[in-house]
Structure 1
């Protein structure tokens, strides 16, 4: 599954990023994904698991139910 993220850059940084991608032959979205991954890896930030385990889902009224039910 993929998640869409929007990023706002000021005009000067956007122009700089556009020029860098054009000069190096990168697709912007691919480079952004790579930069985020590399930064998180450099920071040694662990992969986060799901906040809800599939075995402990609850209905709106709070009653526990089995997965896929």
Structure 2
């Protein structure tokens, strides 16, 4: 009788662990998608900073030529 009770408790714990694993997998999938979006945003920001730096160099050269 005690064995059946312990087996039942173990089964319930395993089902709870499985449900928690499924929830965790969904959250990790969402996190990975967000991480990819963040990486793309950082890449775009880096490119924009490079273009701004080039524009400043060009503007300085134009200012020096005007003097």
TM-score w.r.t. length of structure 2: 0.27
Higher relative contact order (CA 8 A, sep 6+): 1
TM-score w.r.t. length of structure 1: 0.26
More helix by percentage: 2
